[in-house]
């Protein structure tokens, strides 16, 4: 029986396990939208901006482990997705994005709402497809999901011309993938390198594990704990690795880098072995690579061969899925203790405290995060934007459960916080989702408040409102001698009134003694809540390793009294 291309899209999505789509309709993709009522298995969440759809799909993927799916129409609909696609690409998040395209017969004629979205997204997708014939749709969607979710995950865009949605053909329910150049590379081949790795681990005196996003992606949480406990190795995570290892564990040793915890960066500097698992030695971690961890040999377990020796040269590279690698490696590791080394790290933490909140009568952003962490017992899903509030969230929230810290780590996308929180809540309807936002990033995508209301999502939003693009202001203070250029937000709206305009409960907090009550009130409220924390304007994030520097140039918090 012949069916139309648009029906094939829906059937193929359902076949690949999709049940949720974030998107906005428009001319070129309209035929597909008109088919959605036929397929009640597919829940469509109508966002207010395509960027919101892409971030929501990204967060949905991060909390569920399934590929997030977003729809947009041609032209501006497609280009509005770009920031979200780039964000997912940088953080290895599986997404399948379907865009409508003008009809094949006018392709290339600069038709209304035509844009070369496969060209535009070529460097920011894992792969993309242009489909002009309905007979290809079933296979291409299967390939798109396969590519997005296997190996090192990433976003895949499928651009489908309008005529293909309406063309009739047979539906192939079980198409054969035809990707001769794509190996998913998740099967890891045991070689002598694994013995080199275990020898290094067994003989090291001051080892650290540097655990990245790959732990969460491959679901290697248990293997990581096993490795750490067996040889008593401290676990430092990357920013995106946060929540992959329980932060109440005795072996948890923080996260390092530009605004990471001081003792974590110092421990890496003093270590004799770094066991890097599913991470990519990002510049925010290494700073000046020539001065990064110069005393340490490095084992790098990574699924993407192009990450090996990209930023940092390593002694033992092991290509493979980190869960599979650890399941072999852990058997070769001897039971050990590193008491001296663990005491040394404890001493470093004592001498270089990063989490002390200064005594102050003022409302400090980090104190909000600390209270939120205490009240939610570290069990909420925390979604952040980018900037000071993001760093405080990473520093002061003590994460206990995997996949509970959602943040744009690689791309540093402000505006992620609201749409990603809604996507996370859709993916985990029963979880407590808190978006920790800055007043800058919040205003980039606040239109998704309407989507939150429309879908009755009980998302809680904490705006750490300092009236500044706070991190940029901090750089201006530290690097540019206090010359504040274009960083003050003097025209902020009344965020409580704004929330109420959307039908969202709004709470304003202006003094520190109101923090706890506000958080508790928000948690107790069944629907969405926005809390406007009017915080100290010029609070800084410490420690700070200026860009391109090393741990030797780390600036720790000066003794500042935040007195009124």
Of 37, 40, 181, 491, the one binding another protein (CB under 8 A) is: 181
Residue indicated by tokens 């980018």: 386
Q: Crossing angle of helices 192-203/322-332, nearest 10°? A: 60
Retrieve residue 398's tokens: 């003590």
- Segment interacting with another protein, rule: CB under 8 A, options 104-112, 126-134, 270-278, 285-293: 126-134
Give the Cα separation of 370 and 238 in Å (integer). 20
Of 17, 76, 108, 305, the one binding another protein (CB under 8 A) is: 305
In DSSP terms, 273 is beta-bridged to 207, 297
- Segment interacting with another protein, rule: CB under 8 A, options 31-39, 123-131, 503-511, 516-524: 123-131
Name the residue nearer to another protein (CB basis): 226 or 304.
Answer: 304
Name the residue nearer to another protein (CB basis): 118 or 376.
Answer: 118
- Segment interacting with another protein, rule: CB under 8 A, options 173-181, 269-277, 290-298, 477-485: 173-181
- Segment interacting with another protein, rule: CB under 8 A, options 235-243, 271-279, 306-314, 439-447: 306-314
> Is 90 a residue that touches another protein (CB under 8 A)?
no
SS (H, E, C) 373-439: HHHCCCCCEEEECCCHHHHHHHHHCCCCCCCCEECCCCCCCCCCHHHHHHHHHHHCCCCCEEEEEEH
Minimum distance from residue 260 beta carbon to another protein (Å): 26
144 closest CA partner among 35, 214, 68: 68
CA–chain centroid gap for 170, Å, is 39
Cis peptide before 229 (omega within 30 of 0): no
- Segment interacting with another protein, rule: CB under 8 A, options 21-29, 64-72, 245-253, 308-316: 308-316
Whether the CB-CB separation of 128 and 154 falls below 8 Å is answered with no
Minimum distance from residue 143 beta carbon to another protein (Å): 9
| Number of residues forming the site for another protein (CB under 8 A) | 19
> Is 503 a residue that touches another protein (CB under 8 A)?
no
> Is 300 a residue that touches another protein (CB under 8 A)?
no
Q: In residues, how long is the chain?
A: 564
Q: Crossing angle of helices 515-524/365-375, nearest 10°? A: 50
> Is 108 a residue that touches another protein (CB under 8 A)?
no
Minimum distance from residue 90 beta carbon to another protein (Å): 13
Of 119, 429, 482, 503, the one binding another protein (CB under 8 A) is: 119
Minimum distance from residue 177 beta carbon to another protein (Å): 11
Name the residue nearer to another protein (CB basis): 114 or 417.
Answer: 114
215 closest CA partner among 305, 151, 284, 279: 279
Give the Cα separation of 351 and 28 in Å (integer). 61
In DSSP terms, 506 is beta-bridged to 530
> Is 180 a residue that touches another protein (CB under 8 A)?
yes
Q: Which residues contact another protein by CB under 8 A?
A: 118-119, 122-123, 126-127, 130, 147, 179-182, 304-306, 308-310, 313
């Amino acid at each position: 029986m012949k069916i139309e291309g648009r029906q094939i899209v829906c059937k193929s999505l359902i076949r690949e396990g999709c049940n949720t789509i974030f998107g906005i309709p428009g001319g070129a993709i309209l035929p597909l939208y008109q088919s959605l009522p036929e397929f009640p298995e597919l829940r469509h969440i109508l966002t207010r901006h395509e960027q919101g759809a892409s971030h929501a799909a990204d967060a949905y993927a991060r909390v569920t482990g399934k590929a997030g799916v977003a729809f947009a129409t041609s032209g501006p609909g497609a280009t509005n997705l770009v920031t979200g696609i780039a964000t997912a690409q940088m953080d290895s998040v599986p997404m399948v994005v379907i865009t409508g395209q003008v009809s094949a017969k006018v392709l290339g004629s600069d038709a209304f709402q035509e844009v070369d979205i496969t060209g535009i997204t070529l460097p920011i997708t894992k792969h993309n497809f242009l489909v002009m014939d309905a007979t290809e749709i079933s296979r291409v969607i299967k390939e798109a999901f396969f590519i997005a979710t296997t190996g090192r995950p990433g976003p895949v865009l499928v651009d489908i011309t309008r005529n293909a949605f309406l063309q009739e053909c047979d539906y192939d329910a079980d198409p054969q993938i035809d990707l001769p150049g794509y190996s998913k590379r998740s099967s890891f081949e045991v070689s002598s390198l694994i013995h080199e790795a275990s020898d290094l681990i067994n003989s090291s005196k001051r080892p650290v594990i540097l655990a990245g996003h790959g732990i969460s992606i491959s679901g290697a949480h248990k293997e990581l704990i096993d490795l750490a406990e067996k040889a008593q190795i401290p676990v430092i995570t990357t920013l995106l690795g946060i929540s992959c290892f329980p932060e109440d564990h005795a072996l948890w040793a923080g996260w390092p880098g530009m605004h990471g915890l001081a003792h974590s960066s110092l421990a890496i500097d003093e270590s004799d072995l770094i066991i890097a698992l599913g991470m990519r030695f990002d510049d925010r971690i290494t700073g000046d690579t020539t001065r990064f961890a110069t005393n340490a040999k490095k084992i790098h377990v990574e699924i993407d061969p192009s990450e090996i020796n990209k930023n940092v040269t390593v002694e033992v590279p092991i290509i493979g899925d980190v869960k599979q690698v650890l399941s072999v490696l852990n058997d070769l590791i001897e039971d050990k203790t590193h008491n001296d080394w663990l005491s040394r790290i404890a001493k470093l933490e004592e001498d270089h405290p990063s989490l002390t909140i200064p005594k102050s009568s003022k409302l400090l952003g980090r104190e909000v995060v600390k209270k939120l962490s205490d009240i939610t017992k570290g069990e909420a899903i925390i979604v952040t934007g980018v900037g000071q509030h993001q760093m405080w969230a990473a520093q002061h929230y003590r994460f206990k459960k995997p996949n509970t810290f959602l943040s744009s780590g690689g791309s540093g996308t402000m505006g992620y916080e609201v749409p990603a929180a809604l996507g996370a809540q859709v993916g985990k309807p029963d979880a407590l989702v808190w978006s920790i936002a800055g007043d800058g990033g919040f205003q980039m995508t606040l239109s998704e408040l309407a989507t939150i209301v429309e879908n009755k999502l009980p998302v809680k939003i904490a705006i750490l409102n300092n009236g500044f693009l706070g991190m940029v202001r901090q750089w201006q203070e530290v690097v540019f001698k206090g010359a504040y250029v274009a960083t003050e937000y003097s025209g902020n709206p009344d965020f409580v009134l704004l929330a109420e305009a959307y039908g969202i409960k709004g709470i304003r907090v202006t003094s520190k003694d109101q923090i706890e009550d506000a958080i508790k009130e928000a948690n107790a409220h069944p629907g969405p809540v926005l809390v406007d924390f009017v915080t100290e304007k010029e609070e800084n994030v410490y420690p700070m390793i200026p860009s391109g520097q090393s741990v030797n140039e780390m600036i720790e918090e000066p003794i500042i009294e935040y007195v009124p």
